[in-house]
Copies of this chain bind each other. A is one copy, B any other.
Amino acid sequence: MKYTDVFVIGGSAAGVVAATTAKNHTPERKVTLARLEEKVMVPCGIPYIFGSLDNSSKNIMPDTGLIKSGVDMIIDEVVSIDEKEKFCEMKSGETIFFDKLIIATGSKPTEPKWLDGRDLDNVYYIFKNKVYLDQFNEKLKSLNNIVVIGGGFIGVEMSDELKKAGKDVTLVEMKETILSLAFDKEVALEVENIVKEEGVKLITGSGIKQIIGKEGKVSAVELLDGTIIDADAVILATGYSPNTKLAESIGLNLNRKGFIKVDEYMRTDIKDIFAVGDCAEKRDFFTRRSSGAMLASIATAEARVAAMNLYKLSTLKTLSGTITIFATAMNGKGFGAAGLTESQAREEGFNVVTGTFTGMDKHPGTLPGTSKQLIKLIASKETGIILGGEVIGGMSAGEITNIIGFIIQNRMTINALLTAQIGTHPLLTGSPVQYSLIKAAEIVVKKINS
């Protein structure tokens, strides 16, 4: 039997940040984190263990932050929670009493129950478990034709990395374009060109009918239109579901999408129990609708909020809504998006105006290594508030996406952007005269005024 003031269940991004922030914020409290595995994968680094990184041991989340902060770590599984007496039973037989509990149990790949053939050998999911991933990676070495199903970020990154590793890769996306949660169609088409240039075969606008097997193993994939694609392995990147078994066992309220309901302080509806990360409910910053977004950036922001509000609520430290900020890169091109796409905003009923500008990410454009840089801004016509942005460029595209994230979080208007001061440098940014973000804003304003 043990006692801890703060007990965090889950050792990925949300759990680690919740535990370290709690310990830093209230150093006098004992903070314990329980996780299932000895070694935890950097979640967004997983696709890279199949190509750019030699193996999964280069993708381990370091424990230094936890250790330095003074968080107690245990490798054990919570089998049950007694929310009234406030203790957890562990698989090892240990009982851990707590004062505050933070559930950060994350998410797991969604099984597409409608898909025949999903139980064949060589059908894989992107679990975040090192042992599973190592076996999967080892197995892939002897397989050549890979079909990735699902053109979200994970599917796209997996495809690119497997291509890098010398595989023949086909990526199948049901929707009209890949990455449709992040990019409007015309921007997504530009991103698709980058993916195709890498040698990934792309099939969009086409669903899967079934996975075809031979002697219990994958042999092909059949599309809804009847096309057959030979396949030695199929990777299902069709989304994740919140991991809420423990939460449900104590009767925590879940929302319609299956996420644990939380308030702005990340508190569940049971006193002293918080939930953060992929398992916790998210509400969109602008639309206020329940969001299914699962990103380490969101998870860690939630974790910080929960950890800072455990013992003393601070109205200054709440989450004002989820903003999806994605970015990825391949072959020296970065692309990212923050906030709402134009089509999402229109669907929600916003009266929007957009502006797209294509400039350069260095200046003059004659400098070696210069990339084209496209920025699309989505603004509310009524208020001028920037609702979202999409970026394609070089390797600075990730931080430019973060700039748009800050613009959104501060509810900056298009007028504020027009008079904004931006630092520029030949080797690091676009030109002060043609800085893509400002030029895109000018196009928005012109449309609003016309």
* Chain A contacts to B: CB under 8 angstroms: 13, 16-17, 21, 24, 42, 44-45, 48, 52-53, 58-62, 65, 295-301, 304-305, 308, 314, 316-320, 322-323, 325-329, 334, 336, 338, 363-364, 366-368, 395-403, 405-407, 409-410, 412-413, 415-416, 418-429, 431-435, 438, 442, 446
Contact of A423 among B398, B432, B435 (CB under 8 A): B398
Chain B residues within an 8 Å CB radius of A363: 42, 44-45
Partner of A418 from the list B13, B317, B326 (CB cut-off 8 Å) is: B317
**Interface pair B423/A402, CB less than 8 Å apart:** yes
Give the complex CA separation of A367 and B54 in angstroms. 10
* In contact, B304 and A419 (Cβ under 8 angstroms): yes
- If the complex has contacts A367-B53, A418-B304, A421-B322, are A428 and B296 also in contact, measured as CB distance less than 8 A? no
Chain B residues within an 8 Å CB radius of A45: 363-364, 426
Known pairs A21-B442, A45-B363; A429 contacts B398 (CB<8 A): yes
A424 contact set on B, CB distance < 8 A: 44, 296-297, 327, 398
Contact indicator A403/B401 (Cβ below 8 Å): no
A434 contacts B325, C-beta separation under 8 Å: no
Closest B residue by C-beta to A12: B433
Contact A296–B432 (Cβ < 8 Å): yes
Contact of A419 among B42, B305, B429, B435 (CB under 8 A): B305
Minimal Cβ-Cβ distance residue in B for A363: B42
Does A325 contact B422, Cβ atoms closer than 8 Å?
A: yes
Residues in B neighbouring A438, C-beta threshold 8 A:
300, 304
Q: A301-B421, A325-B423, A418-B308 are in contact. Are A428 and B24 (CB under 8 A)?
A: no
Seed contacts A60-B364, A399-B403; 9 additional CB < 8 Å A-B pairs? A297-B421, A300-B438, A323-B421, A326-B425, A327-B428, A395-B396, A395-B428, A396-B399, A406-B412
Check if A327 sits within 8 Å of B423, measured CB to CB. Answer: yes
| Residues of the B chain whose Cβ atoms lie less than 8 Å from the Cβ of A420 | 301, 405-406, 409
Q: Which residues of B contact A299 (CB under 8 A)?
A: 432
Distance of A412 from chain B, by nearest CB (Å)? 7
CB <8 Å contact, A298 and B395: no
| B residues near A322, Cβ cutoff 8 Å | 421
Q: Are the CB atoms of A429 and B442 closer together than 8 Å?
A: no
